[in-house]
Structure 1
């Protein structure tokens, strides 16, 4: 059974139909045995060896429920699951078994932000910290604005298309570093894919290629048709045109549209201009190039806008992705666990904000006036700390799946929920 993740959901028509097949020996092949929850893996194993992992309910209680607890050791949980599956699973990474694959080089390309970009970045982050109290929406707006400013400080503005390209290069560290990277690739006469999931950023990169390198790139995103129309070329046609072009050429692709179905081994350079918050999705995008049929060394370029005075968005997200990627390789757990959460990213950015006086970063105790500024989960933790100080045994429930109970406090026969 190839693409076995198609039967990841118990009880669906396709899963029931596949499990109804009679066979003396079954093999399930998939590159993503866990896409959403560990129950995905249970469903696949239930097809191969029914009963191996018990019932779906008992399996979820043993393996899925612990994932909701922040203190759970994901690597240990994954090893316990592997031990239970035993010889019935063979996990291989292609770089471990495909000797024909060429080397893959990761190139971190850091450049300091120009003063204009740095000033706008700090203003946006400080504004986000001050407005964070209203909740998740304000935090997300701040993160998206900082992400755009890191890509280019003019991206939040509508008039970016009217700004001359020289001015755009002078005001963005990441765009300037990408320009330099493209020059090096052109000198080598090789091809490159630029990844970004933002339409505005995709158009900016296409403009850079047209005006500075004389290349008219195709842009592949979610609205690019699978089949050609009178006015639009299909994804396949765009890729074929790109691969047929001799020498230096470039194409701009959304990583969301590059997960499956694209084989672009004519390129051996990848530029992740806007980073995905999910390491698995970023690797899937890179694998459009780094796959069977690739004969040249693959270079994965990571342009970053940085500062000498604080840890920038690009640097923080790079470090978080590397940490998540290492954890994903060491264990079997859902990709949603590996994805960087907005809160996690925001806290790391705020931690490195120069002159931060937010109570979460302060060494002095919280005051009553500080409680209104806390993110909801931190407020729950503060309440738990008050009960603990009063001599109660306290449990702070997980962020999700707590059925509305945030803090459990017990002392003797008395208990509070």
Structure 2
């Protein structure tokens, strides 16, 4: 006769000389349904009185695992099943035994474990060792993100506590007076600490700080720290083509020219794997990730970092698919707008950082997207999504960190000309240098070069063109449009300054069509009596609005504090003139931090003007009398053109 016996809270059957452990399904069939056990008749099975006294539950219960840290900074594991607390502190093996058994016998009661929590606790246990503080945090982390698996109670094990525990394992990695030479703001130091933590734990992250808070500085500081401590063999940074040169210069600026990334771009770029493998930092563009996907995919990257990561918001886009196929140990997405049009944007970016963290796209849609906005806003799922994303995203807004943030942020953006612009620019430059008559003719040609840098089409007198051609012919215009899109997503207002009337008209025509809004303008053609009325109408606009102004005509006396973004699209020789133009937004009554952008082309007269203005500003402290562009400055430009050097 077969016999059931209990050993160490586990049920077994002995049939002749064969002993087998009973599965949860077999226990349920035998003791709840009173059914035969395979070929063994129920009536032929001997059940001891001790086992007959056990109460067998019919319905499975979820196994809730609780994690916390004990006094010795070791991970403490405890379980709750069906409202019953299981034992006390458990070891890694204790938990595995419970999960493997698929049931628990406690207080003379047999409680089956639900299939869902069995599977998810197996995921949690994989490669983890709870006997030491070297917990496989990646498993816990992914477990926290499982969509329909609320089987981990981590209230006692906060993210910050785990951070302290995990980072303490790397106590040999010390802060040094290293290659990153600029002092970060306090909030940026916290961002650097976060990036370190995520990289040490193999966790992808979204650096979602508000625009203007210095995401680039934090990432460069992180890379410098990683290089000093041999964290990764290499770093891949993917940026819009308009930001390639700006990133290169930021590296040089923040490291005193000690670190310069290798730029993979242009028709003469390498196609050899060994070339990229020999570089510590590789900087490339989204378009080349598609074109050279096989090359990038053949290299195991330490960290893959995306700037303007909203460019992969479409999870079906070719660039998104290509980027997600690149192997890397850690992924960082930099974006001030993690959600632009839909929650699917957030899913796509999060899935790049940690594949599967928010479930499959179908699961995500079922829980969040396939509901009305009204249902979502009042749905607990939305709060849960917020909690889930907070585990992988660091996001600070200006309003949250005003104590450590200057009210005004000046952003000088170096831009490299596209092939078309580069060729045409140097044709104009050569024409200037070939003229022997000098004087007014040469100076007029220099002004033409200045106009060309605003937009090449202005030189030919073309202003009635679509947004596509405008962006194709001018990298600077394209970058400005990217900035405007970011401002639009924030629902804020912007002032664009240009002294070129045709450029003002071009902005007004193209932006009104592209954004579907009225674009306001103030220049010499707008009567003084109508200017305040235009400002009032601009200020009353709900959310995003654009006003284009001439810095001479509208640079003084106007209060436009409804805008908190300023773009100096064409530059002035006088820093005081630019300061007064910026002061239309950055003045008493402004309640938000103000971002002031200075986009300029490198290795052109625009770079010369930008450097000259910075020198003048430092010298004058903004007290130079406002004057118009003068002959001395044009002569200075002419000398620079002859040297073929921009300084």
TM-score (norm 1): 0.55
Of 412, 415, 421, 1:117 maps to: 421
**Partner residue in 1 for 2:547:** 251
CA distance in 2, matches of 1:317, 1:349: 12
Aligned partners of 1:337, 1:179: CA distance in 2, in Å?
A: 28
Matched, 1:155 2:458: yes
Instruction: Select 2:501's aligned residue among 199, 202, 220.
Output: 199
The superposition leaves residues 239-272 of structure 1 with CA deviations (integer Å, 9 ceiling, x where unpaired) of 0000011111010110011232210000000000
Q: Counterparts in 2 of 1:75-114, with a 5 A limit?
A: 103-114=407-418
Are 2:559 and 1:263 aligned?
yes
Paired residue secondary structure (2:519): coil
Residue aligning to 2:595: 299
1:6-405 equivalence runs, <5 A: 103-131=407-435, 133-161=436-464, 163-227=465-529, 234-306=530-602, 311-329=603-621, 334-335=625-626, 341-352=633-644
Cα displacement (A) at 1:333: 6.0
Shift of 1:337: 11
- Cα gap change, 1:203/1:286 in structure 2, threshold over 3 Å: closer, same or farther? same
Partner SS for 1:251: strand
Write the deviation string for residues 272-324 of structure 1: whole angstroms up to 9, x where unpaired. 01111111111110000110001111111111223xxxx21221110011111
CA RMSD in angstroms comes to 2.3
Q: Tell me the distance in 2 between the aligned counterparts of 1:213 and 1:324.
A: 37
8 Å CA contact 2:417–2:475 kept in 1: the answer is: yes
Deviation at 1:335, TM superposition (A): 5.0
Verify the 8 A CA contact 1:324 1:338 in the aligned structure 2: no
The 3 A distance-change label for structure 1 pair 193 and 180 is same
Q: Residues 212 and 315 of structure 1: is their aligned pair in 2 closer, same or farther, counting only changes over 3 Å?
A: same
Deviations 1:221-253 (A, max 9, x none): 0121122xxxxxx10111000001111101011
Q: TM-score under structure 2 normalisation?
A: 0.36
Deviation (angstroms), 1:121: 0.5
Separation of aligned partners in 1, 2:527 and 2:624: 33
- Asked if the contact 2:576/2:624 (under 8 Å) is kept, the reply is no
Q: Of Structure 1 and Structure 2, which has the larger fraction of its residues in strand?
A: 2
Contact 1:102/1:298 (CA < 8 Å) preserved in 2? no
- Indicate conservation of the 8 Å contact 2:523/2:553, yes or no: yes
Distance in 2 (alpha carbons) for counterparts of 1:343 and 1:214: 43
User: Does the 8 Å contact 2:495/2:547 carry over to 1?
Assistant: yes
Q: Which has the higher contact order (CA 8 A, sep 6+)?
A: 1
Cα offsets for 1:24-56 (capped at 9, x unmatched): xxxxxxxxxxxxxxxxxxxxxxxxxxxxxxxxx
Paired with 1:241 and 1:334, the residues of 2 have a C-alpha distance of 32
Tell me the distance in 1 between the aligned counterparts of 2:480 and 2:503.
13
Q: Give the Cα–Cα distance (whole angstroms) in 2 for the partners of residues 324 and 159 of structure 1.
A: 34
CA shift in 2, pair 1:215/1:279, >3 Å: same
How far the C-alpha of 1:350 sits from its partner, in A, is 3.1
- Aligned-partner Cα distance in 2 for 1:127–1:252: 32
The alpha carbon displacement at 1:208 in A equals: 2.8
Given that 2:577 and 2:626 are in contact with CA atoms closer than 8 Å, whether structure 1 keeps it comes out as no
SS of equivalent residue, structure 1 residue 215:
coil
Deviation at 1:353?
Answer: 5.5
Specify the SS of the correspondent of 2:596: strand
What displacement does 1:144 show?
Answer: 1.1
User: Secondary structure of the residue that 2:462 maps to in structure 1?
Assistant: helix
